Structure 1
Amino acid sequence: MTVVTQPAIRRVLERCGAPCVEAVTAEALHRDCFCVAVDPDAVRAQLNVQLSAQNAPALADAHAHLFSSLPIFVPERTIERMTAAVQALTLAAATPAYVAAVMAWAPSIAAHDPGSPGGLLGFDFHLGPDGPRLIEMNTNPGGLLLNAALAKAQRLCLPALSVPSIAIGAEASAITALLDEWRAQAAGAVDGWVAIVDEAPEQQYLYPEFVLFQQALEVAGYRTVICGPDELRYVDGVLRWGEERVGFVYNRLTDFALATDPVKALREAYLDGAVALSPHPRAHALWADKRNLSLLCNRSFLAGTGLPEEAQELLADMVPQTVQMTPDNREQLWATRRQWFFKPAAGFGSRASYRGDKLTHKTWEQMRTQAYVAQAIVPPSERHTGTDEPPLKVDLRCYAYRGQALFFAARLYRGQTTNFRTPGGGFAPVLTLART
């Protein structure tokens, strides 16, 4: 995250003659400023060099819209408020009242506490007219190392505005978090290979980031493999990939409860304490189940957690109203559907999520068989592109660990939910407008 002062931006705008020079606000810059930019082609070229070093295939055509050329400007006070929210959420997630409530609907495997927080977290925000609002929380948030690469390729009108060292810090923070997880679960006895695990990993859209993690871990001195869960064997109390002992699994699976047959070996090794795993099922239950948001927006519940009053007020204000969908409230939610966004409780990547005004009767009936929440719609802010195309929508993501914000990035898109199919969209850097 690069910090940019308003006078510095003003000097840039005076040079390019942008009409927003008289009103240097985030809204004005998003509407009129197109000279402060990044070079997606440079990012792709840089990544392809790194991928080639790991004998991985170059970025395919499917990644044409992985990166946007335009940054997002965010006021410093907004960054501070999101950072405070991450800290308050971390306090809330540690309270006995919260843990008891979320474990009531969590899968049984979540009762197993392996001894670590559970790895990097992603907190996604929309910037509404009244400030940032937390849309959701995720355990295996993708994109941190890709955004670090994006920061390195940042191109600004005024070179003095660039602070590329933040990219190096982001990568180091991510690797440090993984190793902290390993040490916490292994009582400091870090030994064996690291396995980055996902179903058919080379077919995953963010496979290039898996390669970046592999490269960074190997540079740090850890032998690392990217593999599917079915390539792991649990024999005689040891989890193995081939003949190699695996000591730590960086888990990118979306089988959050480790419930399916392909992950049986990993599940058994994890429950036996034979391998360190992050993120783990308990972390997903504490953070990423969408039903948890119905607690964090509830003033009555928050009052019973023992949280400081300031933290209670912050969460109640920043978490949009979220309710669990039940047979008793389905009729009311359908009648008021235009004000809600519906999300599956254990969903990820916006799959099976729907804006209420886009819902059909057929889809609504199909939703009966799953646990859903309804969240009050907070429209995302917009980023104009300098073309005749409609403006892009903006999501902000804060990557964090142990309550500490590590990195902010944005995602630009059109449509109902975040995607990487929008021309001009994709990951985008966050530039902070400092107070003057």
Structure 2
Amino acid sequence: MELVVQAIEAAAALAPFKERTLSWAPEIAGFDPGPIGAFMGCDFHLTPDGPRLIEINTNAGGAFLNAVLARAQHRCCTPPLQDASTNGLLDGFEGAVLAMFHQEWQRQGRDSVPARLAIVDDDPQSQFMFPEFRLAQQMLEARGIETVILDPSELDYTNGVLTARGRPIDMVYNRLVDFALEAPNHRALRHAYLDNAVVVTPNPRVHALMADKRNLILLSDARTLREWGLNETEAGYLEKAVPDTRLVSAEDAETLWSNRRRLFFKPVAGHGSKGVYRGEKLTRRVFEDILKGDYIAQNFVPAGERTLRIDGEVTTRKVDIRLYTYAGQLLLAAARVYQGQATNFRTPGGGFAPVFQV
């Protein structure tokens, strides 16, 4: 999985790949201030033939929670059999996160360190991941970076300075799902970002290059990637790991409908499993809506399963693996345990789970 992540990073750095992805991205993605995106997330299903990449996310949530969870559980999970790499990641997590934010800061031409960082999301206290925001705040403040948690409506951009609550904001850890910063109450952040007045990570360009669902069409086309200059080894990793993906088009409606049981449909700008459909469960009415929207169709890869005990009863749950990465390097691995057609946190006995290498 780490090698697949590094191959994705190599593909995304190719000039033809950038040109193609930016061709369907919003205009704001053309601005390149330098940062490459904090907390990239790559989600995999485990199969008998190896891992399969299901999705790439630019603001992957859960890393801080999973670090706490893994530390709480690692003593009970047969410690003598654990590979040292698992504990190495946990021991070095805070240092790696701090280095990541410093690098993002420096990639935009800043020196020293940011004095004040804002974790920004819409109505953050109502967000499912709000406890993680607090963990991130505590960690960053313990290392000398004043950190606030804000709704974007609290930001003001005047005379070239982004402020909140009357004080300057140097850096934004962006957890918004408005990836192009188009909403009216995101206007101050958008203007400050485009004026290079604040460092934003992850930013709209990173989302366009890495996480737009249409990019999976390119990543599943190993022949084209080879023609664009990706080396044989990296192209081979992607060829094996990335399910065939195509853009949904009304012209292909008949073929898509007849093959729907082997497909999974996702909105190109979707997030959090919203608006996704497993083909075999599609009704004609929903399929017609998909044809009118911006969707991709990805070859369906069943999730792996794990056996667990819930309230004394042995049962099975689906599981996927998320790698949190920066610049292609692993920060942490975690699992998500769930039931249903898409990942969710409502399943009894489900949610995040630590991953231990043995």
Question: Is TM-score (shorter-chain normalized) higher than 0.5?
Answer: yes
Listed one character per residue, the Cα deviations across residues 155-183 of structure 1 (whole Å, up to 9, x for unaligned) are 42645346655323223322321221122
- Structure 1 portions without partners, runs of 5+: 1-81
Q: Please give the secondary structure, in 2, of the residue aligned with 1:329.
A: helix
Change in Cα spacing, 1:157 to 1:284, as seen in structure 2 (3 Å) is closer
Mark the structure with the bigger radius of gyration.
Answer: 1
Q: Equivalent pairs: percent with the same residue?
A: 49
CA positional deviation for 1:117: 1.0
SS of the equivalent of 1:239 reads strand
* 1:122/1:399 contact within 8 Å kept: yes
Q: Is the 8 A contact 1:338 1:356 kept in 2?
A: yes
CA RMSD in angstroms comes to: 1.5
TM-score (normalised: structure 2): 0.95
Would the aligned equivalents of 1:151 and 1:166 in 2 still touch at CA under 8 Å?
A: no
Structure 2 residue 304 is matched with structure 1 residue 375: no
Which of residues 14, 17, 28 in structure 2 aligns to 1:95?
14
Secondary structure of the corresponding residue to residue 24 of structure 2: coil
Equivalent position of 2:39 in the other structure: 120
Q: How many residues are paired up? A: 352
Aligned to 2:347: 422
Measured at CA, do residues 273 and 157 of structure 1 come closer, stay the same or move farther in structure 2, by a change above 3 Å? closer
8 Å CA contact retained: 2:45, 2:321: yes
Per the alignment, residue 337 of structure 1 pairs with: 260
- Partner amino acid for 2:195? D
**Corresponding residue for 1:198?**
121
The answer to whether the aligner puts 1:316 opposite 2:239 as a matched pair is yes
Q: Does 1:410 align with 2:330?
A: no
- Within 5 A, what are the aligned runs for 1:113-262? 113-154=32-73, 155-156=75-76, 158-161=78-81, 164=87, 166-188=89-111, 190-262=113-185
1:307 Cα deviation after fit = 1.1
- Report if aligned partners of 1:186, 1:276 keep a CA contact under 8 Å in 2: no
Which residue number in structure 2 is paired with residue 15 of structure 1? none
Unaligned stretches of 5+ residues in structure 2: none
Counterpart for residue 196 of structure 2: 273
* Equivalent position of 2:29 in the other structure: 110
Counterpart residue number, 1:41: none
- Secondary structure at the aligned position of 1:422 is classed as coil
Relative distance call for 1:302 and 1:159 in structure 2 (3 A) is closer
User: Given the superposition, is the C-alpha separation of residues 285 and 167 from structure 1 closer, same or farther in structure 2, using an over 3 Å criterion?
Assistant: same
Q: Pick from 283, 300, 311: which aligns with 2:223?
A: 300
Cα distance in 1 between the residues matched to 2:80 and 2:262: 44
Query: How far apart are the structure 1 equivalents of 2:123 and 2:328?
Result: 32
Aligned to 1:394: 319
Q: Contact 2:220 / 2:245 at 8 angstroms: preserved in 1? A: yes
Query: In structure 2, what is the Cα distance between the partners aligned to 1:223 and 1:398?
Result: 27
Mapped contact 2:245–2:298 kept (Cα < 8 A): yes
Deviations, residues 212-245 of structure 1 (Å, cap 9, x unaligned): 1111110011111101000000010000002100
Structure 1 residues 320 and 157, CA gap change in structure 2 (3 angstroms): closer
2:308 aligns to what SS in structure 1?
coil
Is the 1:148–1:168 Cα contact (8 Å) retained in structure 2? no
- Aligned-residue offset at 1:389: 5.5
CA 1:331 to 1:389, structure 2 compared with 1: closer, same or farther past 3 Å?
A: farther
